[in-house]
Amino acid sequence: MMRTPWFGLFALSVALSAIPAAAADEAGSVELVIRAGRVVDVESGKVLHDQQIIIGNGRIHRICAGLCVLTTDTPILDWSHYTVVPGLMDMHTHIADEGPYADPATPLRSTATRDAFIGARNAAATLRAGFTTVRDVGVYRSFADVALRDAINAGLVPGPRMFVAGAYITIPQGGGEITGVPDDMVVGEEFRGGVVADDPAQVRARVDALFAHKVDFIKLIATGAVLAAGTEPGEPEYGEASIRAAVEAAARHGSFVAAHAHGAEGIKRAVRAGVRTIEHGSLIDDEGLSLMKQHGTWLVADIYNGDYIDTVGRADGWPAEVLRKNLETTDAQRRGFRKAVAAGVNIAYGTDSGVYPHGDNARQFAYMVRFGMTPLQALQSATLGAAKLLGREADLGSIAVGKVADLVAVDCDPLADVECLRRVRGVVKDGKKVPLD
């Protein structure tokens, strides 16, 4: 923190006496001023130099080139040696779960209390990494994510702004269930959330039940999963009618459906049914890409994750089935991602953090550039794009007057070296500085 030097106080007092009353009132409401060496305008792609960002009531009041008029007691955060970007946003996390699971029965051996502490730890690590907003796309212990979101909002624990799914809607023994555990282990209702559904009527009922528990959106498992024993990523698990039932039910609650979908047919069913996002999209074909472009569906593809699973999974003895399915999807997913970028499909940043350690969410930026994006496009996917996916672009996603003051400082130019987004030097969320120690 720095304060205005004494030799500037006279000039400031003269300036304040000369400005209109409305501007003086604004100056009095200022809670924090950030002196930024450079600011990335993600809307224009320009880097602005020597900017001051004026924050009050958790939002950006003004942005000035050079020195803004300030009261003498305004707290100043000196980021003059840094580049400032909007708060980053990860649209596919599992913060409230322990993960990763070399043993599928791991969730059953934990407790709700222990899981709460794990979620708080993961949330703090994610925030310190510069991710001020996440979409948490499902937990095994139902509604642990709802409780964590509410604890963060109440100021009980530090963490990103969370949009949560509460549980998975899945077929019996499908990709959203805990499978592959010993026969003598019971998977209790707290791990199923009452969301196992066989047909459209059951799906609609499950959606209503989830919103009764205050979820923000619905996560539906449209195909098998890499990490779920006994399921195949390429195999559809729901028909189009059931997916559409979920979409229509979610719409009645003013929300949307995110579809876990690896396989080409499952992706196409989900897109035609009207889901908001396709998660993973590993085996997408050209028809699926065309449908996504036509419907404006968002792709959230975790294209780093396969390397982690292959390297760490082999070293730690993950099940052979998981390693095999990961190999079958990783390169295909990256080819599909490259095609999606070229086709102009909506793409939002999402990592599947929780399969790999929380706090390293920014690792994927370099992969997105390697597989077809420019550094600016990759950054936009985690800012403007993610905000649009959530329908929150009026509040989030860029550094602009009136928007929420979520800001991240890095010590280099991310448009020249996107890897530098992993080297966070400062974080502000809702206009408040986040301790990084």
Task: Establish if 412 belongs to a structural domain.
Answer: yes
User: What φ, ψ does residue 88 adopt, rounded to 5°?
Assistant: -80, 155
What was the pLDDT predicted at 195? 79
Are 234 and 325 in the same domain? yes
Specify if 261 maps to a domain. Answer: yes
The set of long-range contacts for 263-268, using a CB threshold of 8 Å and a minimum separation of 24, is 263/223, 263/224, 263/232, 263/233, 263/234, 263/235, 263/236, 264/234, 264/288, 265/236, 266/222, 266/223, 266/234, 266/235, 266/236, 266/237, 266/238, 267/222, 267/223, 267/292
Total domain count, the chain? 2
Residues 146 and 24 in one domain: no
Q: Are residues 106 and 74 in the same domain?
A: no
Give one DSSP letter per residue of 162-199, joined into a string: EEE--SEEB-TTSTTS--S--TT----GGGTTT-B-SS
CATH of the domain at 67: 2.30.40.10
Q: Which residues of the chain have pLDDT under 70?
A: 1-28, 69-72, 100-101, 192-194
Q: Is residue 111 one of the residues assigned to a domain?
A: yes
| Strand ranges across the sheet with 161-164 | 88-93, 131-136, 161-164
What percentage of the chain exceeds 70 in pLDDT? Answer: 91
244 CB-contact burial (10 Å; exposed 0-12 / middle 13-18 / buried 19+): buried
> Residues 106, 203: one domain?
yes
Type of residue numbered 19: I
How much is the pLDDT for 108? Answer: 85
Looking at the structure, do residues 317 and 428 belong to the same domain, yes or no? Answer: no
Q: 215-245, pLDDT tens digit by residue?
A: 999 999 999 999 999 999 999 999 999 999 9
**Which CATH number characterizes residue 210's domain?**
3.20.20.140
Residue 1 domain-assigned (yes or no): no
Domain of 156 in residue numbering reads as 88-390
Does 141 lie in the same domain as 48?
Answer: no
**Does 55 lie in the same domain as 187?**
no
> Is residue 177 in some structural domain?
yes
Per-residue pLDDT, 332: 98
Same domain, 18 and 151: no
Q: Establish if 165 belongs to a structural domain.
A: yes
58 and 123 co-located in one domain: no
- The pairing of beta strand 32-41 with beta strand 46-56: antiparallel
